[in-house]
Structure 1
Amino acid sequence: MDIRTTQHNPPAAATANAAGERRGPGATPDLDWRVRIAGLGRYLPRQRVDSAQIEDRVGLPRGWALENSGVAFRHWAEPETERASWMGAQAALQACERAGVAPAELDLIVNASGSAERAIPDGGPLLQRELGLGRSGIPSLSVHATCLSFVAALELAAERIHHGRIARALVVSSEIASVGLDFANPEVCTLFGDGAAAAVLERAPHDSPSRIHRIAWRTMGEGVEITTLRGGGSWRPPLGPSTQPADALFSMQGQAALRSGIRLVPYVMRRLGLDDMAARAALRWVAPHQASRAALEVIEQIGFPGAAMVRTLEHTGNCIAASIPLALEQGVREGLIRRGDPGVLLGTGAGLSGVGLTLTY
């Protein structure tokens, strides 16, 4: 069986209607939410893991991971000293510093991660405590939509800010994928990395161009088994009679995930008002989920003339929900994304879901 994630045949421009995809509704109205990302931060674990180390461990030829998964190296956390909540707090503190905001000034803290440090409580209170705010009373909660958790949390927080319910929010994605990798599956064990990224959101001043524009989300639940981790819940509890050790490991059918993701593209692009080249030409940046080398190639083939596509995959791997904010942070830090530049967040996640969010930074 060919497990390489780069073997695919994307549709022309990847925006033509996929088989079985009804034309459906057009673009959603521009939300025009006066919200801006005031600061971004990141944290990458201290341990760098080169792809050659994994290739030697599992018996792959040197260079396999870069060619197929698109990853040269990634960072893996030391779980006892680099817990997910601690990593998230490091990214959050950097984001707050860059935003000129003290953590105590936050009105909402959202943990937006696909992996969990523990089952109960959720990651919101854990993150709040790591920030030294355990007695603050600041509402702290989690939004879990696997790889798309950051976008889901961004929408939730931005809407509250736009409607005046809160003034400022912190959204953090902190992921430790390395503890659940199946080293018998090369496309899984070579793809994922650990990391955290955070964003401080606030109401944009009247003279600021920053806005949230459109959000498109589409889910096809028939794909729940394509990417899954069966253990950890009520279906496969640790001591359950049917539970197997493999239930604690992430399982992915790379080719099926890619094909299913491609089928979601036309709807998402249409709802964002980006189904023609002229509209895409107005964008200045694209911050996609770093799902795989093949997935990034599909996004490139859509065609975003004049837009910088931010890539982190080669040096971080797929960091689940942290991938999109890590790309945002890198784009801003490297000057690819500047204040007033319009752009788009794009990605797919387990379930299977596709999402897009257009904003002016």
Structure 2
Amino acid sequence: MLYSTITGIGHYVPKNVVTNQDLTEVMETSDEWIRERTGIEERRYIDRTKETTTTLALEASLRAIKDSGIDKEEIDFIIFATLSPDYYFPGSGVLLQRELGIAKTEIAALDIRAQCSGFLYGLSTADQFIKSGMYKKILLVGAEVHSVGLDFSTRGRGVSVIFGDGAGAVILEATEDKEKAVLATKMHSDGTYAEKLSYMYPGAHGGYFIEKYGLEGFDVDYDQDNNAYGGVFLNQDMLDKGQVFPHMEGQAVFKMAVRKFPEVILETLHAAGLTIADLDLLVPHQANLRINQFVQQTMQLKPEQVYNNIMRYGNTTAASIPLALSEARDEGRVKKGDVVTLAAFGAGFTWAAAVLRWGK
């Protein structure tokens, strides 16, 4: 029987460090206010003239490829998870293929838009492809550039202080050894709460869902003369009202996250034939340190059983789990044979988890 195993891992973050104090120069906030609500102390932002989502992914991918010991030409599938692609289309997967210099191999490149859960959706997808025998060596990447699309004003501080830029990547290969494999993955979603954490403008919805569900705080683009939703993608009014920035209802996200995190972790451990007592390390999505601490306490885990690095990087959404897992490996926090659980919750709402036995 075939399983998938992580044979290489790497991460990359921009060199530009932005502290909480730096943000006080462009908005009404404070280091204390940010730390108290999020646990974040600093984050990384790209050099806008030299870096993009794809270039961050390239650096992380090259490190993962080197760590695995394979040649990049051996990669037979690319999965790219991001909510901040370089282009609206085409996706970043083909751009990464080009930057790696392997476009001539004409391998497939799949982009995944599951936001904070994107890497785990990608991991589950890669796992199934490998188990089926369709692909043998898959490059899975999570990469994000948030800094170019945030509202750096007091109006936007509730969102803008949270996010940072970064990338993480893994190489997944086929193995028959279950003692170093992905043991189980679980994925969920609930679109009821889609607009609670959203980036709706520019978009093609034209206000249809806003009208249908009676959403407050959003504008409807309705053409009275033709009795139809206009479908305006972007206009000056959207820009003036600051609607082109992410929207988040923090309390709603927090309440759902602290409920769904433990549920999906236990569900996935059960699917792997394990219990919380078997867990060596939990690497949660780095959305908010307070969420992770709440989950740790709820599940009665020791501090050393949970890895957090949001203090240094902020929330890098789809990149946060591979970035944290890579750092945990580098720091010796995850060792060969360890049972590692990865878990994420984010916009959609989507949530997911994976249990694996570390093989490197």
Normalised by the shorter chain, which TM-score bucket?
Answer: 0.7 to 0.9
Question: Take 2:303 and 2:200, find their aligned partners in 1: how far apart are those partners?
Answer: 42
| Shift in alpha-carbon separation, 1:234–1:335, aligned structure 2, 3 A | same
What secondary structure does 2:83 align onto? coil
What secondary structure does 1:198 align onto? strand
Q: Deviation per CA, 1:145-198, whole angstroms, max 9, x where unpaired?
A: 011111111111111112211110001111001122123232312111000110
Amino acid at match of 1:331: A
Amino acid at match of 1:322: A
Aligned residues: 327
Question: Take 1:182 and 1:46, find their aligned partners in 2: how far apart are those partners?
Answer: 22
Match of 1:193 in 2: 164
What secondary structure does 2:195 align onto? coil
Question: Take 1:306 and 1:36, find their aligned partners in 2: how far apart are those partners?
Answer: 26
Moved over 6 A (4+): none
Q: Select which of 274, 280, 286 maps to 2:276.
A: 280
| Shift in alpha-carbon separation, 1:316–1:266, aligned structure 2, 3 A | closer
Do structure 1's residue 56 and structure 2's residue 53 form an aligned pair? no
Q: Deviation per CA, 1:68-94, whole angstroms, max 9, x where unpaired?
A: 221111100123310111110110000
Q: Greater helix share, 1 or 2? A: 2
Query: Which deviates more, 257-266 or 240-249?
Result: 240-249
| Shift in alpha-carbon separation, 1:63–1:270, aligned structure 2, 3 A | closer
Amino acid at match of 1:321: A
Shift of 1:307: 5.8
Amino acid at match of 2:196: I
Check the 8 A contact 1:283/1:306 in 2, yes or no: no
Question: Take 2:304 and 2:179, find their aligned partners in 1: how far apart are those partners?
Answer: 18
What secondary structure does 2:14 align onto? coil
Sequence identity (%): 28
Q: Select which of 69, 76, 82 maps to 2:38.
A: 69
Check the 8 A contact 1:182/1:251 in 2, yes or no: no
| Shift in alpha-carbon separation, 1:307–1:357, aligned structure 2, 3 A | farther
Match of 2:189 in 1: 219
Q: Deviation per CA, 1:27-80, whole angstroms, max 9, x where unpaired?
A: xxxxx8621111111111121111110023212234322222211111001233
Check the 8 A contact 2:60/2:168 in 1, yes or no: yes
Query: Which deviates more, 59-68 or 351-360?
Result: 59-68
Amino acid at match of 1:185: G
| Shift in alpha-carbon separation, 1:33–1:310, aligned structure 2, 3 A | farther
What secondary structure does 2:141 align onto? strand
Shift of 1:262: 2.6
Match of 2:226 in 1: none
Match of 1:181 in 2: 150
| Shift in alpha-carbon separation, 1:234–1:270, aligned structure 2, 3 A | same
Question: Take 1:187 and 1:55, find their aligned partners in 2: how far apart are those partners?
Answer: 13
Do structure 1's residue 233 and structure 2's residue 213 form an aligned pair? no
Q: Select which of 326, 330, 334 maps to 2:331.
A: 334
| Shift in alpha-carbon separation, 1:193–1:266, aligned structure 2, 3 A | closer
Shift of 1:264: 2.2
Match of 1:18 in 2: none
Structure 1, unmatched stretches of 5+, are 1-31
Query: Which deviates more, 130-139 or 303-312?
Result: 303-312
Match of 2:139 in 1: 170
Check the 8 A contact 2:76/2:107 in 1, yes or no: yes
Question: TM-score when scaled to structure 2?
Answer: 0.85
Shift of 1:225: 1.3
Amino acid at match of 1:217: M
| Shift in alpha-carbon separation, 1:306–1:190, aligned structure 2, 3 A | closer
- CA-based RMSD of the aligned residues comes to 2.1
Match of 1:146 in 2: 115
Question: TM-score when scaled to structure 1?
Answer: 0.85
Match of 2:222 in 1: none
Check the 8 A contact 1:261/1:352 in 2, yes or no: no
Structure 2, unmatched stretches of 5+, are 207-231
Matches within 5 A, 1:11-160: 34-160=3-129
Amino acid at match of 2:278: A
Amino acid at match of 1:194: D
Do structure 1's residue 351 and structure 2's residue 351 form an aligned pair? no
Amino acid at match of 1:317: G
Q: Deviation per CA, 1:296-329, whole angstroms, max 9, x where unpaired?
A: 1122112235962111100010001000111110
Question: Take 1:101 and 1:181, find their aligned partners in 2: how far apart are those partners?
Answer: 38
